[in-house]
Amino acid sequence: MRSLILIGHGSHLNGESATAVYRYADLIRERGLYDEVVEGYWKEEPSLRQVLRTTSSTDVTVIPMFISEGYFTEVVIPRELGLGHQGPVPPGGVARVIGGRTVRYTLPYGVHPSMTDVILARAREALPDFSAQDTALIVLGHGTTRNENSNKVIYRAADLIRESGQFAQVQALFLDEEPKVGTWPEVISAPRVVVVPFFASEGWHTLETIPEDMGLTGEVTAFPENPHGAQTVYYAKPVGTHPAVADVILHLAQEASGALAQDGDVERGHEQAWQTVLSRARRGLRIGEVMITPDSGVYELRHALDEGRPGAELRTLVTPEGVRDTIRKDDGGEHRPVHTLRNAPRGWRAVLSEEDLRRAVHYAYPAVVEETYAHTCHALRATPWPTTARRQTGIYAKVQKATPEQVEHVAHDVCTSCLRTRLWAGEKLTHTFLDGVPGGIPCAEACTVLVAEVREEVSGKRGEKAG
Ligand code: SF4
């Protein structure tokens, strides 16, 4: 039995941020090579701290879904997973035994040599008949003076493609460092130019900054009076959204497993947690705002406030992914980075097999089953606020300055709308949804929404917002 975890950054503000990771997880799941494919995030649920606990096997491979090596892949993710490793990840990855699971952590997918295939696939989409006679390729990266690793992968990919002899010229250019993208008319002499952005997703840079810096007006732009003569630029989509990235992920996972790979076993604690939930679900169960009703060998899930409404009035979902995509937004279409906040959408019902029920509950309430069961076994450790604050980085590092009173003030506002009980603040939880108390769910560690609100408080912006 083998589990694969894909790690993304996620966002507590923007639901689209996690979409690419979900899409690749779906693609790999369809191939059936792993018993399960699980997603985990820094800024959404399940969090990096929770995600290992949500895997059902003792053999886990973790792929960081990042385009280059850097602070997140070398420091944040290993630390949050408890890998006991910091710094550059060796080519074969890092393997550790954590809580009975063998965990293999790999390099980010973007640095894998087979990303050159993805660059070529994107180039071919933009200009199917590119040729070594008249076409130049620009591999375009972000680049930054803060992280020398981020450009290495672009140079290496450009070198490999240059050696293959498929283009008249191959050039690495960057947005934020030399050689800059705006210099392309001086450095490129071929009449046809394909530009492939080495970016993880479509966004501000690929849609606005790059076209602006290059003077592009669409997917194909003619430049009749450039220094080297007339040139036409063909602008490709970013590499990170190409379906072939799924193959790169599988290459990485297989290489991490190595020749001595053996399948793992069912993780006993995880299985016990789910068997406990399923035995309750067979008699009918409420978890938070969601009610589970057994019906002739299948299960129906719906919002508890929709109890009694005729099925014809509700949108019927038949897959766990349907539940996932529905429940990630509230009734107003707003992103829900924390699912235990009491704002689950209404108006739907899901009809699922017992196997699919597990995944649907996982999507509806990520890590809740595992953490609640661990709590009932006295095996859930709470993380005090100062520890959580110390782990915040970048613009969130300022939450370390928050006083206990400020944290409590914010928690009073934010956590009142949440089902969870704050173990990290010393609150007690004596009965859980497993005992028939739907809202009985432990909170072992301050979540991303609370951290963001504490930052606003420290910055003096919460009052402004309220005012
Ligand atoms: Fe809920 Fe507060 Fe815990 Fe966040 S920190 S999950 S809002 S109880």
pLDDT tens digits along 329-383: 999 999 999 999 999 999 999 999 999 999 999 999 999 999 999 999 999 999 9
> How far, in Å, CA of 38 to CA of 86, rounded?
23
Residue 264 above 90 pLDDT? no
Give the CATH fold of the 3-110+244-267 domain. Answer: Rossmann fold (3.40.50)
Residue 148 above 70 pLDDT? no
300 confidence band (pLDDT: 50, 70, 90): very high
Per-residue pLDDT, 313: 97
Task: Report how many helices (DSSP H) and strands (DSSP E) the chain contains, helices first.
Answer: 18, 17
Closest-CA residue to 138 (of 98, 179, 89, 99): 179
Please, are residues 446 and 437 in contact by the beta-carbon 8 Å criterion? no
Please, are residues 357 and 295 in contact by the beta-carbon 8 Å criterion? no
Please name the residues in contact with 321: beta carbons below 8 A apart, sequence gap of 6 or more.
26, 363
Please name the residues in contact with 107: beta carbons below 8 A apart, sequence gap of 6 or more.
64, 69, 73, 89, 91, 93, 252
Please, are residues 420 and 442 in contact by the beta-carbon 8 Å criterion? yes
Closest-CA residue to 317 (of 335, 303, 331): 303
> How far, in Å, CA of 128 to CA of 194, rounded?
10
Per-residue pLDDT, 152: 85
pLDDT tens digits along 375-423: 999 999 999 999 999 999 888 999 999 999 999 999 999 999 999 999 9
The residue to mutate among 399, 420, 454, having the most atoms of ligand 1 within 8 angstroms of its beta carbon, is 420
Calculate how far, in angstroms, residue 420's C-alpha sits from the geometric centre of ligand 1.
6
Q: Hey, whose CA ends up nearest to atom 2 of ligand 1?
A: 415
Please, are residues 432 and 376 in contact by the beta-carbon 8 Å criterion? yes
Beta pairing partners, 215: none
216-240: average pLDDT = 96
Q: What is the mean pLDDT of the chain?
A: 93
248-274: average pLDDT = 84
CATH of 115-241, one of 3.40.190.10, 3.40.50.1400, 3.40.50.720, 3.40.50.300: 3.40.50.1400
Q: Which residue ranges have their beta carbon within 6 Å of ligand 1? A: 338, 340, 411, 414-415, 418, 420, 422, 443, 446-447, 449-450
Per-residue pLDDT, 150: 66
CA atoms lying within 13 Å on the CB side of residue 153? 28
Per-residue pLDDT, 466: 41
Residue 151 above 90 pLDDT? no
Calculate how far, in angstroms, residue 104's C-alpha sits from the geometric centre of ligand 1.
30
* φ and ψ at residue 255, rounded to 5 degrees: -65, -35
The residue to mutate among 441, 450, 455, having the most atoms of ligand 1 within 8 angstroms of its beta carbon, is 450
34-47: average pLDDT = 92
Range of weakest confidence among 52-66, 146-160, 275-289, 374-388: 146-160
Please, are residues 264 and 273 in contact by the beta-carbon 8 Å criterion? no
Residue 452 above 70 pLDDT? yes
Residue 92 above 90 pLDDT? no
Per-residue pLDDT, 6: 97
Please name the residues in contact with 301: beta carbons below 8 A apart, sequence gap of 6 or more.
290, 291, 292, 293, 323, 349, 350, 352, 357, 360, 361, 364
DSSP string, 338-354: STTBS----SEEEEE-H
SS3 content of the chain, % helix, strand, coil (to 5): 40, 20, 35
Residue with structure tokens 């191939």? 31
Per-residue pLDDT, 261: 53
Please, are residues 44 and 18 in contact by the beta-carbon 8 Å criterion? yes
Per-residue pLDDT, 262: 64
Per-residue pLDDT, 14: 81
> Please, what CATH class does the domain formed by 381-466 belong to?
alpha beta
Q: Hey, whose CA ends up nearest to atom 4 of ligand 1?
A: 447
> How far, in Å, CA of 25 to CA of 28, rounded?
5
Per-residue pLDDT, 259: 42
pLDDT above 70: percentage of residues in the chain: 97
Per-residue pLDDT, 164: 95
Residue 53 above 70 pLDDT? yes
Please name the residues in contact with 146: beta carbons below 8 A apart, sequence gap of 6 or more.
none
Calculate how far, in angstroms, residue 360's C-alpha sits from the geometric centre of ligand 1.
21
pLDDT above 90: percentage of residues in the chain: 82
Q: Which atom of ligand 1 is nearest to the CA of 449?
A: 4
Residue 130 above 80 pLDDT? yes
Q: Is 239 in a helix, a strand, or coil?
A: helix
> How far, in Å, CA of 193 to CA of 168, rounded?
10
260 confidence band (pLDDT: 50, 70, 90): very low
Identical fold at 3-110+244-267 and 269-366? no
Calculate how far, in angstroms, residue 421's C-alpha sits from the geometric centre of ligand 1.
8
Q: Which atom of ligand 1 is nearest to the CA of 419?
A: 1
80-105: average pLDDT = 92
201 confidence band (pLDDT: 50, 70, 90): confident
463 confidence band (pLDDT: 50, 70, 90): low
Query: What is the CATH code of the structural domain delimited by 269-366?
Result: 3.30.1360.190
80-103: average pLDDT = 91
Q: Hey, whose CA ends up nearest to atom 6 of ligand 1?
A: 447
Strands (E), 164-238: 169-174, 192-197, 220-226, 229-235
Where exactly are the structural domains of the chain? 3-110+244-267, 115-241, 269-366, 381-466
Calculate how far, in angstroms, residue 337's C-alpha sits from the geometric centre of ligand 1.
11
Phi-psi region of 378 (alpha: psi -120 to 50; beta: other; left: phi over 0): left
Per-residue pLDDT, 263: 77
Per-residue pLDDT, 147: 56
Residue 143 above 90 pLDDT? no
Calculate how far, in angstroms, residue 239's C-alpha sits from the geometric centre of ligand 1.
36
Per-residue pLDDT, 330: 96
Q: Which atom of ligand 1 is nearest to the CA of 420?
A: 8
Q: In terms of pLDDT, which residue wins out, 61 or 17?
A: 61
> How far, in Å, CA of 305 to CA of 302, rounded?
8
> How far, in Å, CA of 77 to CA of 5, rounded?
12
Neighbours of 464 (CB within 10 A): 9
